[in-house]
Amino acid sequence: MLIYEKIVDGIFLIYSDSKFWYKCRGILIRNENIGNILIDCNCYYPKEIQTLVRNPIEAYFVSHVHLDHTFNLHYYEELVPNIKIHCPIPEIDYLKDFNKFIKDNGTLDYGIGEGFKMFAFKVLKFKEVNSAIGFNPGQEFEFKSANIKLKTIPIPGHSPAQTAFSIEDTTGKRRKILFVADIGLGQMGAHYGFSYGDLNDVRESIKRIEEIYLNDDYIVTSSHGPIFFKKIPALFDNILITMEEKERDILNMLDSSNPKGLKDLIFKGLFFDEAVTKPLSEERKLSVRFFEHNMIMKHIKELLEQEKIIDVGNNQWILNK
């Protein structure tokens, strides 16, 4: 069953009531004139999508191509043959070619690409989508009969072309909404666990969104977090602070004489710990290890560039005292 949380009149944050861990939240903009506008309404159960397509759909937008946002997209394509599914360039290629996705995101090189593919196609029932339309993040869309302007905002880092959306009522009667996808407002904070995730891009994207947020009156929501109706000045800065804390935690786990490597850092609480991973299946544990490996190594790379640590070989490091 779908949960609808009202943001403003006619615009809702919607998500499945399923307890399944791999899902996201999306935006429904109701419009009786031309059809509804959806953002990331991947849902979980096919019957939830069947509910949404009972009303005409003018446009569907994808913030980025990660499976929790896209594994059910094919149902929209099947149920609404002429649907316009807008997807950011170049990630649109991943919707059409999953092999390119596992190559670019690093799972193939890490040795879990085929398992990741099986999870997508066998467990999630993912299907490649061929009718998507590409857009360049930064592009604007106006739906005049709905009095809606949709501004797309590039926020790469979590993925190559992750996109946020500024949803604006052109009459000025409703407050603006900032949907920031997976920028880091969920419980985990910023996630940069795929190989293509870049720390500098993550930080710059957070700062870009923060500037937009602080300089206007926005309601904020995201793919994995609540709705923020009141202005919280430190909302996005707190994500950056958490990232810096991770880097300090890594430094605190290293010392100046005893070399340490990934085995001393992974599943020690930096991002995940053994209490979280112990009950997982071996296949899912490998995926979690992949994500943590990548996130730690991105911080290690920065610390090496900043000369705060020294590489002593064999993927081991010591503090530079």
| 293-317 average pLDDT score | 96
To the nearest whole number, what is the mean pLDDT of the chain? 94
Which pLDDT score is estimated for 272?
Answer: 86
Q: For residues 113-123, give the mean pLDDT.
A: 94
Residue 68 DSSP SS3: helix
Residue 217 has pLDDT above 80, yes or no: yes
| CATH number corresponding to 2-235 | 3.60.15.10
**Rounded mean pLDDT, 103-112:** 96
Q: What is the mean pLDDT of residues 162-180?
A: 97
Taking 3-state DSSP, the helix, strand and coil percentages for the chain, each rounded to the nearest 5, stand at 35, 25, 40
Give me the mean pLDDT over the 172-176 stretch. Answer: 97
CA–CA separation, 130 and 125 (whole Å)? 16
User: What is 166-208 written as a DSSP string?
Assistant: EEEETTS-S-EEEE-TTSS-STT-----STT--HHHHHHHHHH
Q: How far apart are CA 149 and CA 121, in angstroms?
A: 35
Confidence tier at 19 by pLDDT (50, 70, 90): confident
Alpha helices in the chain (DSSP H): 46-52, 67-70, 73-79, 92-96, 98-104, 107-110, 113-118, 199-214, 237-253, 274-277, 282-305
- pLDDT bin (cut points 50, 70, 90) of residue 47 is very high
- Which residue type occupies 127? K
What DSSP string describes 125-141?
Answer: --------EEE-TT-EE
* pLDDT classification of 90: cutoffs 50, 70, 90: very high
pLDDT value of residue 21: 72
pLDDT of residue 282: 80
| CA–CA distance, 196 with 135 (Å, rounded to integer) | 20
Q: Which two tokens stand for residue 188?
A: 């985990």
Structure confidence at residue 130 as a pLDDT band (50, 70, 90): confident
pLDDT of residue 150: 98
Structure confidence at residue 75 as a pLDDT band (50, 70, 90): very high
Which pLDDT band, with edges at 50, 70 and 90, does 200 fall under?
Answer: very high
Signed CA dihedral, 19, 193, 124, 161: sign only: positive
pLDDT of residue 294: 96
Parse the chain into domains and list their residue ranges: 2-235, 250-319
* Range 36-42, long-range pairs (CB < 8 A, 24+ positions): 37/61, 37/143, 37/146, 37/148, 37/150, 39/63, 39/165, 39/179, 40/69, 40/179, 40/181, 40/223, 41/14, 42/68, 42/69, 42/70, 42/71, 42/72, 42/73
Q: Is 284 exposed, middle or buried (0-12, 13-18, 19+ CB in 10 A)?
A: middle
pLDDT band at 190 (very low <50, low <70, confident <90, very high): very high
For residue 15, the model assigns a pLDDT of 94
Half-sphere CA count of 16, side-chain side, radius 13 A: 22
Q: Tokens for 32, please give them.
A: 């009786």
What's the mean pLDDT in 209-237? 97
Whether residue 18 is predicted with pLDDT greater than 90 in this model: the reply is no
Please report which confidence band the pLDDT of residue 81 belongs to, taking 50, 70 and 90 as the band edges.
Answer: confident
Query: Measured at the alpha carbon of residue 165, what is the angle toward residues 160 and 166, in degrees to the nearest 5?
Result: 145
Residue 314 tokens, joined: 């064999």
Query: pLDDT digit string (tens) for 245-290?
Result: 999 999 999 999 999 999 999 999 999 877 777 888 888 888 999 9
pLDDT given for residue 321 in this prediction: 82
Q: What mean pLDDT do residues 132-147 have?
A: 95
Name the DSSP letter for residue 307.
Answer: T
CA atoms of 192 and 258, how far apart (whole Å): 28
